[in-house]
């Protein structure tokens, strides 16, 4: 693992309405926001209870998990912040969600990262998940050389499925994925990726 590179606190992937930035270990407001976001009813229903119910636990998670992903892949979980006006800086913007491009550690990992997102319930339905996901994927392809991307959601999660389709991923069927404990999941992938998903380590 390289220690020469570190996530900059001023880094941002700007989109029309959003800033996409790295989580920082020493930012208590970000830890507090993560607790708020991951303990909403919507998040727990779709993703389960993370157990991160205090800022201290969230800060430890950012340090021990999120930062580790950054150092290994230069991507992982990113903070999504809403601009108050089109030219607003990252510092002026307000956190509303998380967008992620995750790739696990071998041997229990797929060979391609997967895109994910969660937005505060009061900000959902406004296209922010689609905008953040598109912005992150464009950056990952252009700057990090990411060529293959997967997407997963519950087989009956129509809202998440629409986002995956809007950002250009193609439905590849429903599977009971072992990495998710056999949960019945819808699988999406870039259209140019192999039709045989076993190539990427995906099997039932």
pLDDT tens for the 204 residues of the chain, in order: 445 677 899 999 999 999 999 999 889 999 999 999 999 988 888 788 888 999 999 999 999 999 999 999 999 999 999 999 999 999 999 999 999 999 988 766 889 999 999 999 999 999 999 999 999 999 999 999 999 999 999 888 899 999 999 999 999 999 988 777 777 899 999 999 999 999 998 876
The closest alpha carbon to 92, from 175, 34, 157, 14, belongs to 14
The conformational region for residue 145 under phi > 0 = left, psi -120 to 50 = alpha, else beta, is: left
What CA–CA distance (Å, rounded) separates 33 from 64? 17
Of all helices (H) and strands (E), which one includes residue 20?
strand 18-22
Tell me which fold the domain 13-147 belongs to. Answer: Aminopeptidase (3.40.630)
What CA–CA distance (Å, rounded) separates 196 from 148? 13
Query: Half-sphere exposure of 201 toward its Cβ, with a 13 Å CA cutoff?
Result: 17
Residue given tokens 């990252």 in the structure block: 90
In angstroms, the Cα distances linking 90 to 14, 25, 95 are 9, 17, 10
DSSP 64-133: IIIHHHHHHHS-SEEEEEE-SSTT--TTT-EEEEEEEEE---TTSS-SS-EEEEEE-GGGTTSSHHHHHH
Tell whether omega for the bond before 127 is within 30 degrees of 0, i.e. cis.
no
- pTM for the predicted model, two decimal places: 0.92
User: What does the angle CA 175 – CA 141 – CA 121 come to, to the nearest 5 degrees?
Assistant: 60
Q: Is 93 exposed, middle or buried (0-12, 13-18, 19+ CB in 10 A)?
A: buried
């Amino acid at each position: 693992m390289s220690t020469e590179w570190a996530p900059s606190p001023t880094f941002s992937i700007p989109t029309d309405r959003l800033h996409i930035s790295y989580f920082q270990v020493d930012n208590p407001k970000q830890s507090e926001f993560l607790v708020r976001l991951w303990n909403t009813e919507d998040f727990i229903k779709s993703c389960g209870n993370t157990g991160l119910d205090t800022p201290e636990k969230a800060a430890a998670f950012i340090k021990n998990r999120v930062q580790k992903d950054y150092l290994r892949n230069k991507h992982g979980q990113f903070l999504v912040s809403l601009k108050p006006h089109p030219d607003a800086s990252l510092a002026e913007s307000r956190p509303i969600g998380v967008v992620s491009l995750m790739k696990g550690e071998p041997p229990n990992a797929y060979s391609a990262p997967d895109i994910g997102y969660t937005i505060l319930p009061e900000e959902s339905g406004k296209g922010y998940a689609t905008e953040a996901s598109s912005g992150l994927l464009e950056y990952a392809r252009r700057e990090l050389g990411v060529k293959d991307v997967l997407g997963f959601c519950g087989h009956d999660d129509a809202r998440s499925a629409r986002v995956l389709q809007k950002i250009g991923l193609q439905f590849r069927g429903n599977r009971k994925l072992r990495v998710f404990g056999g949960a019945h999941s819808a699988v999406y992938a870039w259209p140019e990726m192999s039709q045989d998903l076993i190539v990427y380590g995906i099997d039932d």
